[in-house]
Chains A and B, each alone.
Chain A
C-alpha cells in the first residue's frame, strides 16, 4: 500500500498513516498567506469545559448566525478564514458558505466549522486538514484542560519533525557458522527427541491435584514466544542463579517429601525463574510423556503461601502471582525503581508489562489529570450494558436481575459480544457517579468527573482476562458468567491506544499524540485459557497455536483440534503477541 502511494503521490505520513493531500484551494491559500490567518484564529478559539471541545467564537457569548439567512440553529456554520463571514452549509442543498466562496474573489474557499474548529473547503465541499491549524487548536485545548504549571504532556510533541515511519523488525533465523557449530557441539549434548512432526515443546502436564489452573497458565507461558526464547537461550540459568545455593536445601526437602514449616523463611529462597527454567528444559527436552511440574508447584506454594493448598485456584490469580514471583526475584538482584512499566526490570515484565493511561476530567472546569499505571494484563468486563461502571471497577451492584435483558439489547445492537466490544467499553469515557467525585486541582473541590482509560504502551504480549467470576454485593454471592465472547485470531490494538483516544477527543486532527511511538499494534492470538464449570468447581483447558495448528492442552492430554473449536470455546484468558516480532505461528505452512 505504501509503495503504491509513493508512486502516485508524495504524501505526508504520520506513523505510517497516509495523510490526505490538501485540496488545491487549501494549498493555494497556504502558499498565498502562510499560516498567519490561522494564528489570528487562535484568539477566537474557545474550549468549553465539559468535554473540552474547541469552537470558534469571536466573543465567548457570541451566537453565530448565517450571514445570508440569519439562521443560528443550523448544525453546520462555517466562518470564512479570510473575511470571518459566517455562513451556513447544507450538503447538496443551497449552501451559503459555497455561495460566499464563489461570489468573492478567489481566496475565500477555506472556512472553519464554528462548532468543531475544523477546516472545510467550501469549493470542494469537503473537510480539509492542516498541521499548523490543528497544532494551534490542540494547543488551545491542552492549555484549557491543564493547569498552567502542569501544562506538560497531553500533547508532547506536535512538531512536524515527529513524523515517524512504522518500522518492522524482521526475524532472521540464526544459522551457526563453523566455529559456532564446534562450540555448540563441544559444550552441549544433543537432545534425542522423537522424530514426530509435532511442534517442539508440546508436552502434557500432569494434574497434581486440582492444579489445572496452573497447568493451563504454564502451557500458555511455555509457548509465549518472547518468554520461550528467553529461557531457551539460557538467559536465566538455574545452575548459575545467585539464589541457587540457598534454594538447594529447599529442593532437597522436596525430594525427601518433607514440608517446610517456616513458609516465609523459605519463600525468600525460592526462585520462580529457576523453576521456570527447569520446566522449560523439561518440556522442550523432546520427551513426550506428560511432565509433572511438582517442583514448580512447590516453589510457588512457598512463594504464595496463602494459596498453598490442593484446592482449586483461579488461573488468573496464579498468572499474576507467578509473574510477581519472577519479578521479585530479579528485583532484588538489581533493583530499578519505577522500571516495571518500561519492562526493563525482569523478563516477566519485559514481556507482559504495558502502561495504562487514565484521564480524569473535571466536568466543571475541564481540568484533566492524567496518571500512568503499569499493568501486566487487562481485565475486561463481560457485561455489555451494566449501568455505570463497565470497567475494572469491582463494585458491581445493580446488574443481577436486568443483566439478561441488557445482554439481549446489546446483542441486538452488535450481534454477539466480542473482545473488541469489551475493549471499546474499557476505553470509553465513563462518568464517575456522584458518590465517587474526584478532587479537582483547579476547582479545589470534589467535582463530578469523566474518566477514560487508554493504553499508553502496548506490551509485547497482551494478556486479556475476562471477568467471568463476579461478585454481587447486594446478593452477597458470587457467580460465574458463562456468556460466549467472540475473540479474533488477529487483533489491531490501535483504536485503544492513548494516541487514538486523544485524537478522537481533539476532533479530526492530523497530529501525533501521546505515545505515538508504537511500532506495531497488530497482535496475533497464540493461547487461550478456557474455563468450564462453575465458580467453585470447574476445569481449565488451554488452546495453543503452534505452526498454525491448534492444540488442546487438557492437563496430560494434548490433542489436535480444529480452529472452530477454539473459536467456540469460552475464553477466560487470551494471550496475544505483537506481530512485529514475526513469530508468526500462522504464516508457517502447517501440515494441511
Chain B
C-alpha cells in the first residue's frame, strides 16, 4: 500500500521496468521462480492445519456469518474481519520455522 502512495503520479511503464527492482522484489521473484514460495505456502498450510489454527479460524468465520446472516456477508467482509485475528494467532513456532526456511533459502540462493 505504501508503494502505491509513493509512486509517481503518472508512472511511465517503460521506465518502471528499467528501474532497478528492490531487494524485496528480487527475493520475491527468486522465491516464486525457484518454486520455493509454493513449497513454503504448502508447509505453512500444513502447519496451520496441524496446530488447529485453521479450525479456529473456521469457527470464527462461522460465528461471524451466523451473526451477520448468511446472505449479508461477502468474502471481503470476512477477510477484513479475520485478517487481524488470524495474523495475531499464528503460533510463534510456526513463524520461527518459516523464517528459518526463508533464511536457509536466501543463503543457498546467495542473493
Report A567 CB to chain B, min CB distance, Å.
Answer: 22
Assembly CA distance A457 to B99 (angstroms): 42
- Complex-state Cα separation, A93 to B4, whole angstroms: 12
Query: For residues 55 through 84 of chain A, which have their beta carbon under 8 Å from a beta carbon of chain B?
Result: 61, 63, 68-73, 76
Q: A410-B52, A414-B52, A428-B49 are in contact. Are A73 and B28 (CB under 8 A)?
A: yes
Q: How far is the CB of B33 from chain A (nearest CB, A)?
A: 6
Q: Is the beta-carbon distance between A120 and B25 smaller than 8 angstroms?
A: no
Chain B residues closer than 8 Å to A48, beta-carbon distance: 35, 38
Given contacts A48-B38, A413-B52, contact A120 B1 (CB under 8 A): no
A50 to B7, CA, bound (A): 37
- Compute how far the CA of A50 lies from the CA of B46 in the bound complex, rounded to whole angstroms: 12
A70 touches B75 (CB 8 A): no
Do the beta carbons of B16 and A92 come within 8 Å of each other?
no
Q: Which residues of B46-81 are within 8 A (CB) of A?
A: 46, 49-52, 55-56, 74-77, 79-80
Q: Looking at the assembled complex, report how far the CB atom of B21 sits from the nearest CB atom of chain A, in whole angstroms.
A: 9
Complex: A213 Cα to B75 Cα, angstroms: 52
- A residues near B76, Cβ cutoff 8 Å: 91-92, 125-126
The residues in B between 8 and 44 inclusive whose CB is less than 8 angstroms from any CB of A are 11, 16, 24-25, 28-29, 32-33, 35, 38-39, 42
On whether A120 and B75 interact (CB within 8 A), knowing A70-B3, A413-B52, the answer reads yes
Q: Which range holds the interface residue count of chain A?
A: 20 to 34
Q: Which of B24, B55, B75 contacts A127 (CB 8 A)?
A: B75
A124 at interface by CB-CB < 8 Å: yes
A429 CA to B43 CA, complexed, in Å: 13
Which residues of chain A are near B3, meaning CB under 8 Å? Answer: 69-71
Give the Cβ gap from A95 to chain B, nearest Cβ, in Å: 9
Q: Does A19 contact B (CB under 8 A)?
A: no
* Residues of B within 8 A of A (CB-CB), count: 31
A125 to B39, CA, bound (A): 29
Interface SS of B by simple majority? helix
Q: Give 1 or 0 for each of A164-207: 1 = CB within 8 Å of chain B CB.
A: 00000000000000000000000000000000000000000000
Q: In the complex, how many angstroms separate the beta carbon of B32 from the nearest chain A beta carbon?
A: 5
- Which of B4, B24, B29, B35 is the one whose CB lies under 8 Å from A63? B29
Task: Check A50 against B39 for contact (C-beta < 8 Å).
Answer: yes
Which residue of chain B lies nearest to A410 when distances are taken between CB atoms in the complex?
B52
Minimum CB–CB distance from B18 to chain A (whole Å) comes to: 13
Report the separation of the CA atoms of residues A122 and B38 in the bound assembly, to the nearest whole angstrom: 26
The answer on a CB contact under 8 Å between A91 and B1 is no
Residue of B nearest to A66 (CB): B4
Other than the known A63-B29, A125-B74, A414-B52, what 17 A-B pairs have Cβ atoms closer than 8 Å?
Answer: A50-B38, A50-B42, A63-B33, A70-B3, A70-B7, A70-B11, A70-B16, A91-B79, A94-B1, A126-B74, A127-B74, A385-B50, A410-B52, A413-B52, A413-B55, A413-B56, A424-B55
Interface residues of B (CB under 8 A from A): 1, 3-4, 7, 11, 16, 24-25, 28-29, 32-33, 35, 38-39, 42, 45-46, 49-52, 55-56, 74-77, 79-80, 83
Give 6 A-B contacts (CB < 8 Å), ordered by A residue. A50-B39, A68-B4, A72-B28, A91-B83, A93-B1, A126-B76
List the 3 closest A-B pairs by CB distance, nearest first.
A126-B74, A413-B52, A91-B76
